Amino acid sequence: MSSQLAALNDWVHAVARLTQPEQIHWCDGSDEENTELTELMLATGDFVKLNEKTHPNCYLHRSSPSDVARVEHLTFVCTNREVDAGPNNHWMGPTEAHAKMDALYAGCMRGRTMYVVPYCMGPIESPLARCGVEITDSPYVVANMRIMTRMGAAAQARIEREGSFIKGLHSIGDLNPDRRFIMHFPEELTIKSFGSGYGGNALLGKKCHALRIASYQARSEGWLAEHMLIVGIETPKGETHYVAAAFPSACGKTNLAMLIPPEGYRQDGWKVWTIGDDICWMRPGADGRLYAINPESGFFGVAPGTSTKTNANAMAMLNKDAIFTNVAVTADNQPWWEGLSEGVPVLDWQGRPYDKAHGPAAHPNSRFTVSAKSCPSYTPRSEDPQGVPLSAIVFGGRRESLVPLVFEARDWTHGVLVGAAMASETTAAATGAVGVVRRDSMAMKPFCGYNFGDYFKHWLSFDQPGAKLPKIFHVNWFRKGGDGKFMWPGFGDNLRVLEWMLKRVEGSAGAVETPIGHLPNAADLNTNGLSLPESQLQQLLHVDRDGWYEELTAIGDYLAGYGDQAPPNLEAEQRRIVAALA
Ligand code: O2Y
Ligand code: MN
């Protein structure tokens, strides 16, 4: 097969000349093709079949033990000018980066099949969607891209119609961590990845395209590519409000996207619909509102910690048609990870007999890949080509102290400052250094394809006459009391906080004005059915002025780190709050 588009054919053949594959396979995304690839991977050991009775059509992939996560220190943004990548990115000049990568690619696919994977990020008919083609020598990548994107013939047809696409070249190489790089060339709409077969390094539609390249493209085209979940909240009146929310990793994004309302709320008729758990593309519609799509069509979720208690919707979709990566298995070949209440691991994530002394049975970053349509809270609005209108944007982080349960930004500029100032404490699973506060603006630190200073300006630019922008809020589900225990129950009960936000949007909920924003009075939150002492709720909603003065001062230093690129309006907003707190 080939394409009617010369630019695509020419590129594929140039890559083949460089990488020297044994054969080229153009992916059409069909069931037959997927069956063939699955059989191939079972034969090579890339896939291990899981228990067909309990988990029909489910497979386990074990990645190389040194290839288990994204590699930020080996991820580069290769713009012509270093300042355009910004201090938030590792930078390499495009000439040097291409030379480095092309030397690695030379002959790297000898004896392998080169797969050409056309894909569309977003519903095929959506004007907000964008297409790409990933060339890869990994059938595991193809199988994941088929779930995570609209992959195959329909995407290729759109690419041929439009004549343009993002070029992504990926090879697992020899999986040597010393020869591993993930390079982005936003000015050329190109991605080059070598030496990893794992997740965000290899499924180029996800972080590489849908965030790093798309954020750059979005800036010049007047939209936003964000690291946000999208959720629909249906009230007892039958109205659905859509909310996008950004959290750094380890803050329960997937759980919030698939929230199950508390019993009392369910009885009253509240429902929650999942549009996406990781990425949100949004742009202003003709009516001035921001419309959002999830560019992905599946979930690449963290397995450990996922259970019927934390995320029953996720659990309900994991017993068929799923790919598991680096989980453990039980004696009867069912997938297993820490946090499950049932089952006993017999083989760990590396396929060794499980021994506590080797560490956790499942890798802490082990994953499931599953279609969004398998989720019990899936809504067909996920396929709406126009996207869904956003009522609210939520920023959040993991903060043991200082940051209240929720506050509302005064206006868009203040909201952008709240997003830019986002920070979270690291967890053991992420880095080994626990409790260190890291600033992660809009949860985009690892994913913004250009200078954060310019990115903040781009966010500010949406505040135009006639714009009906969503209200912006900040949440912190992770406040701890003197006893070291979480003060807020979290999970489904987070809907209580979302309800207050939606009432603020409708203009029907009270709030108290403070220098850091509007907070609910204790009486404004529905705590029916919660055993939450009044004093604890007061603490969750308290603004510690001295602590916030220090925090705002640190935020000022952070913005100053972007030098001339930092938007003056944002710095003025920071100074205004400092003055109000002083
Ligand atoms: O470690 C990886 O390659 C996966 S990272 C990831 C996967 C799904 C959703 N979000 C993330 C992330 O790091 O934000
Ligand atoms: Mn993510």
CATH code of the domain containing 271: 3.90.228.20
Known catalytic residue at 251: yes
Q: Find the distance separating the first CA and the last CA of the chain, reported in whole Å.
A: 68
Q: Is the pLDDT of residue 92 over 50?
A: yes
The ligand placed nearest to the CA atom of residue 302 is 1
Tell me, in angstroms, the distance from the centre of ligand 1 to residue 479's CA.
24
| Residue 227 Cα: closest atom of ligand 1 | 14
Judge whether 330 lies within some domain: yes
For residues 510 and 543, membership in a common domain is answered with yes
Judge whether 472 lies within some domain: yes
Tell me, in angstroms, the distance from the centre of ligand 2 to residue 527's CA.
31
CA nearest ligand 1 atom 12, residue: 249
Tell me, in angstroms, the distance from the centre of ligand 2 to residue 258's CA.
15
pLDDT, tens digit, 9 for 90 and up, residues 163-187: 999 999 999 999 999 999 999 999 9
For residues 391 and 428, membership in a common domain is answered with yes
| Residue 254 Cα: closest atom of ligand 1 | 9
For residues 311 and 339, membership in a common domain is answered with yes
Return the CATH number at 176. 3.40.449.10
State the pLDDT confidence band at 249, using cuts at 50, 70 and 90.
Answer: confident
Q: Which residues contact 371 (CB under 8 A, 6 or more apart)?
A: 147, 297, 298, 317, 321
Instruction: Please write down the long-range contacts of 55-58, taking CB distance under 8 Å and 24 or more positions apart.
Output: 55/318, 55/319, 55/320, 55/322, 55/334, 55/335, 56/319, 56/320, 56/321, 57/320, 57/321, 57/322, 58/318, 58/319, 58/320, 58/321, 58/322, 58/323, 58/324, 58/335
pLDDT, tens digit, 9 for 90 and up, residues 277-317: 999 999 999 999 999 999 999 999 999 999 999 999 999 99
CA dist list (Å): 171 to 141, 146, 187, 231, 412 = 10, 18, 22, 35, 42
The ligand placed nearest to the CA atom of residue 365 is 1
For residues 181 and 134, membership in a common domain is answered with yes
Tell me, in angstroms, the distance from the centre of ligand 1 to residue 518's CA.
32
Contact 473, 407 (CB under 8 A): yes
| Residue 299 Cα: closest atom of ligand 1 | 8
Judge whether 207 lies within some domain: yes
For residues 31 and 76, membership in a common domain is answered with yes
The ligand placed nearest to the CA atom of residue 182 is 1
pLDDT, tens digit, 9 for 90 and up, residues 460-505: 999 999 999 999 999 999 999 999 999 999 999 999 999 999 999 9
Tell me, in angstroms, the distance from the centre of ligand 2 to residue 573's CA.
29
Judge whether 341 lies within some domain: yes
Contact 119, 149 (CB under 8 A): yes
pLDDT, tens digit, 9 for 90 and up, residues 346-360: 999 999 999 999 999
The ligand placed nearest to the CA atom of residue 300 is 1
**Which residues form the domain of 327?**
299-372
What DSSP line would sit under 364-432, residue for residue? TT-EEEEEGGGSTTB-GGGG-TT-EEEEEEEEE---SSSS-SEEE-SSHHHHHHHHHT-EEE--HHHHS
Tokens of 302: 């963290």
Q: What torsion, rounded to 10 degrees, do the Cα atoms 156, 158, 160, 164 define?
A: -100
Locate the DSSP E strands across 67-186: 75-77, 90-91, 113-121, 130-136, 150-151, 166-171, 181-185
Burial of 119 (0-12, 13-18, 19+ CB in 10 A): buried
Dihedral angle sign, alpha carbons of residues 121, 124, 129, 132: positive
Structurally, how many domains does the chain consist of? 3
Lowest mean pLDDT among 120-124, 279-283, 296-300, 424-428: 424-428
For residues 345 and 201, membership in a common domain is answered with no
The string over 297-307, giving b where at least 16 C-beta atoms fall within 10 Å of a residue's C-beta and e elsewhere, is: bbbbbbbbbbb
For residues 553 and 467, membership in a common domain is answered with yes
For residues 40 and 140, membership in a common domain is answered with yes
Q: Pick from 174, 193, 222: which residue ends a domain?
A: 222
Q: Pick from 187, 202, 222: which residue ends a domain?
A: 222
Catalytic residue, candidates 251, 280, 375, 448: 251
Nearest to 441 by CA among 252, 227, 254, 241: 227
CA nearest ligand 1 atom 14, residue: 249
Q: Is 473 helix (H, G, I), strand (E, B) or coil?
A: strand
| pTM, two decimal places | 0.97
Eight-class DSSP state of 530: -
Q: Is the pLDDT of residue 1 over 90?
A: no
Average pLDDT, the chain: 97
Which amino acid belongs to residue 300?
F
**Angle, helices 545-560/568-581, rounded to nearest 10 degrees:** 160
Tell me, in angstroms, the distance from the centre of ligand 1 to residue 61's CA.
17
pLDDT, tens digit, 9 for 90 and up, residues 330-384: 999 999 999 999 999 999 999 999 999 999 999 999 999 999 999 999 999 999 9
The ligand 1 site (C-beta within 6 Å) comprises: 69-70, 198-201, 249, 278, 300, 365
- What local confidence, expressed as pLDDT, does residue 449 receive? 98
Q: Pick from 164, 190, 222: which residue ends a domain?
A: 222
Eight-class DSSP state of 69: S
Judge whether 171 lies within some domain: yes
| Residue 278 Cα: closest atom of ligand 1 | 9
Looking at the chain, the number of H-run helices and the number of E-run strands are 18, 30
Other C-beta atoms within 10 Å of 311: how many?
24
Q: Is the pLDDT of residue 413 over 60?
A: yes
Q: What is the mean pLDDT of residues 126-154?
A: 98
CA dist list (Å): 568 to 189, 272, 420, 469, 574 = 30, 39, 14, 21, 10
Contact 144, 22 (CB under 8 A): no
For residues 556 and 477, membership in a common domain is answered with yes
Return the CATH number at 315. 2.170.8.10
Burial of 321 (0-12, 13-18, 19+ CB in 10 A): middle
For residues 95 and 44, membership in a common domain is answered with yes
CA nearest ligand 1 atom 10, residue: 278
Best substitution site from 206, 253, 398, 431 to test ligand 1's pocket, by max atoms within 8 Å of Cβ? Answer: 206
Best substitution site from 249, 294, 444 to test ligand 1's pocket, by max atoms within 8 Å of Cβ? Answer: 249
State the pLDDT confidence band at 435, using cuts at 50, 70 and 90.
Answer: confident
For residues 395 and 532, membership in a common domain is answered with yes
State the pLDDT confidence band at 426, using cuts at 50, 70 and 90.
Answer: confident
Judge whether 62 lies within some domain: no
The Cα–Cα gap between 197 and 203 comes to 8
- What local confidence, expressed as pLDDT, does residue 431 receive? 47
Other C-beta atoms within 10 Å of 220: how many?
10
CA dist list (Å): 415 to 253, 410, 418, 469, 501 = 20, 7, 5, 11, 14
Q: What is the mean pLDDT of residues 409-422?
A: 98
| Residue 249 Cα: closest atom of ligand 1 | 14
